[in-house]
Each structure stands twice: as structure tokens, then as C-alpha cells.
Amino acid sequence: MQDKLYVYIVSDSIGETAEQVAKAAISQFEDVKYIIKRFSYISDSEQIFDIIEQAKKFRSIIIFTTVIDELKETLIDECEKNNIEYVDIMSSVMNSLHSVLGIEPINEPGVIRKLDERYFNRVEAIEFAVKYDDGKDSRGIKKADIVLIGVSRTSKTPLSMYLAHKNIKVANVPLVPEAPVPDELFEISPKKIIGLTANPIKLNEIRQERLKALGLNNNASYANLDRILEELDYAEKVMKKIGCAIIDVSNKAVEETAGIILDIMRENGII
């Protein structure tokens, strides 16, 4: 086993970066037999001493990505005492960035993973908003962080997507007099539900524009003022029965309405 190279990956986070760098570098040398040992979430000097005890028995190199100064200094000191080759991947890059940016690094382990987790949570929330848009599947109501209800063209979908980009899972349900209200809306806390309404004149204008965009006759009942008044009246009754908060979106940008929703949800202890 002595002819093999032992590569010790040491990190105060997962250590994936150091391992990938090590593999990429070793691949440039032909016929090298090696064993990679990864030590993740190193948090104290005793762990480093144990790693050094192992490493000094073999032909070894230690590659590390720790950003905690105390651990880094201990690791370097122990490697030099025991004549073990080491590579500090992070320091040279961070020192150069510090020189260019003129600010100190935060030296917090695992930051990139936290960013990755936020990214994947956002993707999951966006996929959720698409899957449970416009009442496609009422099962999403119980899974959602927030449920938006309202008549057509009250910004349910744009709000769902906007909130999804803030890692919030949103389902939205259209309220139509001829369609039964999903039972699930009465099986969750009304604090998770936001009712959206609008001025009937404004809604009439929006729906007429929508019909024009679709190349349809704007005399359709969809944009008829009496029909809109009927829908709004029906929606209000449903919202009051549920007991949820109601927001008039008539003259509000999506960002403004989203801000109000977030404030309500924080007050309700939902997010």
C-alpha cells in the first residue's frame, strides 16, 4: 500500500471543492494509484491531530479548504512539523480578492452550500407555483405556504411566481360562481390564505385588454361588467366565509401587493 498516494481532504464544510480539485490535478499524472480520504465539518484541533497521525504513516498530501484561522494555522503547523505536503486552496484566492475588494472575508464555513440550498429551494418553489397554478390540483392547497384566491385577472399567477422567487411555495385558486370551492380551503388555517379583489371598473378594463390580446370579441361575458360584479360578490362571500385577509390589487404593482402579503404572513406567524 506504500506505493499509493493518500490524499487527505480536510474541510470545515463538506469538502467537495477540494476533492474535485484534487481529482482534476491527479488526472494529469499517468498511472498514479491513489486513495482519497475526505474529512468534512472539521471543527477542532483534536480532529486535525488525528488526521495528521494517519497521514504521516503514508506517502500523503493534505488538501484543505478551511476558512477558520485557528484550524488553518494548526493544520499548517502540524503538516510542517511532520514534513507532510499540504495545499491551502482557499487562502490564495481569498487574499487576492481581499486585495482587489478592499474588504475582509467573513470566514464562515459552508457559505456556498447555503447559497446552493437557497437556489434549489427557489427552483422548487417556482416548480410548485407552476404545478398548482389556477387551481389545477387542489392537493397543492395543503402543501402550500400561502394560498391565493380570487376572481380571474387579480394577479394570482404573477404574485405566485414573484413569491416563489422568495422561496415561498404558493398555490392559487380561481373563484368562479359556477365552480365548487375546493374543500381543502376550509381544511387549512385561514391565516395561510389571502383573498385578492379589485375595483370592477379596473377589472373590466383589464379583461377587455386580455380579450383583445387573444384576438377575441371584447363583448364576451368574461369582460361584461354585470358578470364581473357577480363574480366579485361571490368571491367576497367565499373569502368572508373562510375568514382570510383580503387585499384590493386595483392600483398596486405586483411587488407592492407581494410586500403586503409578506407582512400579513409574518404577522400571522406563517413565514
What residues form the annotated binding site for ADP?
A: 150-157
Residues in a beta bridge with 62: 8, 86
d(CA 235, CA 196): 9
d(CA 95, CA 107): 12
**Residue 247 half-sphere exposure, CB side, CA atoms within 13 Å?**
24
d(CA 73, CA 107): 14
Number of C-beta neighbours around residue 205 at 10 A: 13
**Residue 108 half-sphere exposure, CB side, CA atoms within 13 Å?**
7
- Hey, what amino acid is at 57? K
Overall residue count recorded for the chain in this entry: 271
Residues in a beta bridge with 196: 150, 247
Query: What DSSP assignment string belongs to 17-32?
Result: HHHHHHHHHHTTSTT-
